[in-house]
Structure 1
């Protein structure tokens, strides 16, 4: 039977770790420190059991001497604290660099100076860049003129206002460069230029009435003087005359082929002249192409600058497209050059303190070099890495106590501003960065190493016992004389002791809060970690092991006399 028990025990000890029941952590929340030490104790106890059983199965003594520590449950203050250390950093920092090279003309600041956002820090010689801007502007103007010329080749506009007449093309017709397409004339008013004796013309004035007599029909029309020449001319027979221009309203029958004479205040003109339209222009094709549209039909009125005809075709359309792209390229080139001009004046990107100045006025600087560094010291920050077991206890807004070795006897208050969900895993353990802000920073500087404590839970008057006294399943070993022994479990316990079920609350590195299952005056018994370390080391090294009969102790442990040691 003993061999059978040993065999079963060995099989259990050699079972894969994954087959063991998952251990639940005592207490309301996982917390690094005290609870992990407790489970280390449990792991070491398991090792003790393994050694005792295996050595017993080999025919050697099987029971080890176990030392218990007793302590009464009592009320005390417990604070569950997460602690760690980190390095202080400024609220914001900026390294000022240059994109250009050249001589620094001004650098009117020093290390330690406080600057506002957009304060001018450096001015670099920009004389070469000024010339480049002028060249870019000239290129843009040329590109725009070329584009306008290309548009004029596609969209044929009226040079003067008037009626479209003599339209010689239709939509779809092919035209060649220089071909006459239409005539645009203003025939509402005609003008007649004739000469009058110089002495008489000298007394005429603009706006004075005149009579125009048409040759052939001798019809007389009313008109008015619109211009008088200021210089004399000599006609045949040594007649000294001046040219006078008379405007006549067109009733609709007059044309530019009609000749006439005029008289002003009874003085007849020295010769005759031909009537001329007020304005007349011929529309010609600037390039070969196809008539894509007739925008103003025959007999229609076109204002000056209005599109009369639209030409198309691959050649014309490509010219317009190319000219448009050239304009945009020139605009971008000018914008880039102007931006480079702005880069010659370097301003502060943030408000802060100059902590490092690399260049001064008169220095030559190369592109990409660091000029200075600015810190925003309005507050400081630190990052605390929180273990995965504790991250659920941390939230934005929690207060943090900060201390620094460099500032003795003083503590600072911080507040959690960010809890990141981007964890980092190292050696099978994941931690999460938590950002802490410190507003009152007197005496603190960026780069200082500081310690931080986050009080995640606290109880001023909690019934507590040593954390190592809570065993797996939230069971606690107490003396049989304890008041709570009346609620003992049926689990086997050493002589003079019983197990009770408890409900736990918060804990610190040493003690754990008991919410139910115990009362003040109960005496708990547990194995101190250092005692277990000594026993295990002794057995591992082949030290003496006492069997139940030899030691006289209880099956579950105890002192040499069978009971716990106080």
Structure 2
């Protein structure tokens, strides 16, 4: 028959779990450290057992010494405790991005400043000339780009006035130079007649006044409108002083520039006649050089003002436009960079907080990269704890944390878990995860102080409890024969000798701390549990390990979680 080997929770000493660099060492762990007795030790123990008791003889189970404890009601709290250094909610070292002389400073060490508050002004006189040069370069680049855009638009040749296309001077595929005539546009619907009137009479005429025009060839009378009255007197033969008056008439269809006529305005007749002219007839020229890609009209077609006549293409012009666009963008970026650099001469606070130190004052020279001052946001403090991988699943955002500091005696602060990181760090076979705690009540606390933190995982009040060492592997407990719950257990023959009998009882467990574990079911008040005590170092006596009926040996795992245990208990080994 196999004897149960009982377990006891072990609280590692600080030297067993040295703190990692930059981490917060745990003061306690929830009894999760496992120790495996090497197989070679078991072989040695077996040899010693055979030597003393003879081959095949059974080790005496009665030599095992059990400790008993009553099942009693207790308050149990499961918690994790760690320590670390406090940090400000946010901190910032203000550094210089330029070289120069500090013209003014606007704060002192210990001042409260708001975000974007001006801290320093640095001499920027050298920067002013560079900024002006960049502005000039941008203006030049913009003009060049606008001109290229206009040239690109001028590749489409349009009618400057409404009229009839009377001549197209080029064909598709022809190369055209800037200023070359490509077409002629004529407005033949409206004719003008310029005739002289006596100066005294013409002085009373006005633009828009009605006029009558008489054709010399047919004596036909056409209605017209005065469009211009000259302000210059002319002297005709016989010392007659006249002024030219221009009259506009609609072409009934037969008028041409070869015809002549006279006019009457407000009953006053012209001093002589004149020849008709077309209202508009002009040569259309190309504004830029290019190749005729297409012609959009034919001779005789009528066009409105701005109507397209033909389109040119120019690879050179498109390349020049692209270059002008790139030059413009470079000038814009250069100016933006200058303005950004100018901003660096006015140094503002990046955060709201308290000025912790001030390293430079007005009148001093600084260089790029030098730290001018440090600002801490002390609206709250934070603490980072590195939690063991076996415990991290028990930590959740929102859990309350009790904080104590040796520097502030008799005061307990309340914090809250704000972040549980999944980025673990492994060292010496152990992985820890950073947990961030926020402390809003900070009276008396300062960044850098060492504090202890306690995170309560679970608690139960007035529950049945047994010593943690009394729980065996498989969630079983040994009880004495006189315990009420022994009736539900299995007699462990050979254990206790003639003086005592023990029964193995299955139990359901709940909350546990470093010393006790809650019993939800399986035991009752009045029961007495039995277990093998540990030494002061938390280990079993080797002699007890060897005394296994039949001389058998097995590996031993020490584990402190509920239901954890060692081989050798009921169902073990």
Name the TM-score, length of structure 1 as normaliser: 0.77
Q: Tell me how far 1:456 sits from its aligned partner.
A: 0.8
The partner residue of 1:288 within 284, 287, 290 is 290
Q: Deviations over 1:436-472 (max 9, x none)?
A: 2222222222222222111110001121121122222
SS of the residue aligned with 1:443?
coil
Q: Residue 258 of structure 2 contacts residue 275 of structure 2 at CA under 8 Å; is this kept in 1?
A: no
Counterpart of 1:17 in structure 2 is none
SS at match of 2:490: coil
The answer as to whether partners of 1:159 and 1:281 remain within 8 angstroms in 2 is: no
Residue 272 of structure 1 is matched in structure 2 by 274
Q: Which SS does the other structure have where 2:246 is aligned?
A: strand
Corresponding residue number in structure 2 for 1:429: 430
Partner of 2:32: 36
Is contact 1:180-1:285 (8 Å) kept? no
Whole-angstrom distance in 2 between the partners of 1:24 and 1:142: 88
- Give 2:88's aligned residue: 90
- Residue 352 of structure 1 is matched in structure 2 by 353
Structure 1 Cα separation of the partners of residues 346 and 432 of structure 2: 45
Partner of 1:209: 210
- Structure 1: which 5+ runs fail to align? 1-22, 549-566
For the residues of structure 1 that align with 2:225 and 2:380, how far apart are their CA atoms? 87
Q: Is 1:472 aligned with 2:473?
A: yes
Distance 1:366 1:307 in 2: 63
Give the CA deviation at 1:547: 12
Matched residues in 1 for 2:530 and 2:137: separation? 90
Using the alignment, how far apart are the partners of 1:404 and 1:479 within structure 2? 46
The alignment yields a C-alpha RMSD, in angstroms, of 3.9
What is the aligned partner in structure 2 of residue 9 from structure 1?
none
- Aligned equivalent of 1:527: 532
Aligned pairs for 1:31-110 (under 5 A) are 33-36=29-32, 39-40=34-35, 43=36, 51-58=44-51, 67-110=65-108
Q: Which residue of 2 aligns with 1:505?
A: 510
Q: TM-score, normalised by structure 2?
A: 0.77
CA deviation map 1:148-187 (0-9, x unaligned): 2431342334434555543445655554544432234444
Check conservation: 2:165, 2:301, Cα contact below 8 A: yes
Q: Which moved more, 1:378-387 or 1:200-209?
A: 200-209
For 1:361 and 1:187, locate their aligned partners in 2 and report how far apart those are by CA, in whole Å. Answer: 81
Aligned twin of 2:558: none
- Greater shift, 266-275 or 474-483, is seen at 266-275
Distance 1:360 1:297 in 2: 82
Segments of 5+ residues of structure 2 without an aligned counterpart are: 1-6, 11-26, 550-573
Deviates most, 225-234 or 425-434: 225-234
Alignment partner of 1:70: what SS? Answer: strand
Q: Deviations over 1:213-266 (max 9, x none)?
A: 445555443323223333434556665443333333334444456554444332
- Cα 1:236–1:494 shift into 2, 3 Å: farther
Partner of 1:560: none
Cα drift, residue 308 of structure 1: 4.0
**Deviation readout 1:515-565 (Å, 9 max, x if unpaired):** 22222232223333325768758999xxxx9999xxxxxxxxxxxxxxxxx
2:115 is paired with a residue whose SS is coil
Give the distance between the partners of 2:547 and 2:485, measured in 1 at CA. 32
Partner of 2:139: 138
CA distance 1:502–1:535, shift in 2 (3 Å): closer
Once the two structures are TM-superposed, the CA of residue 270 in structure 1 deviates from its matched residue by: 5.2
Pair 210,113 (structure 1): closer, same or farther in 2 beyond 3 Å? same
The offset of 1:331, in angstroms, is 3.8
Q: Residue 370 of structure 1: CA displacement?
A: 4.0
Cα drift, residue 79 of structure 1: 0.4
Say whether 1:409 aligns with 2:410.
Answer: yes
Q: Which deviates more from structure 2 when the two are superposed, residues 227-236 or residues 71-80?
A: 227-236
Whole-Å separation in 2 of the counterparts to 1:503 and 1:136: 84
Distance 1:298 1:393, change over 3 A: farther
Q: Distance in 2 between matches of 1:254 and 1:100?
A: 80
Aligned to 1:8: none
Q: By how many angstroms is 1:123 displaced?
A: 4.2
Higher mean Cα deviation, 213-222 or 490-499? 213-222
CA contact (8 A) 2:171 2:292 kept: no
CA–CA distance in structure 2, aligned partners of residues 435 and 88 of structure 1: 11
Shift of 1:368: 4.4
Deviation string 1:69-121 (CA, Å, 9 cap, x unpaired) is: 33222111110001112222233334444544444444423333333334344
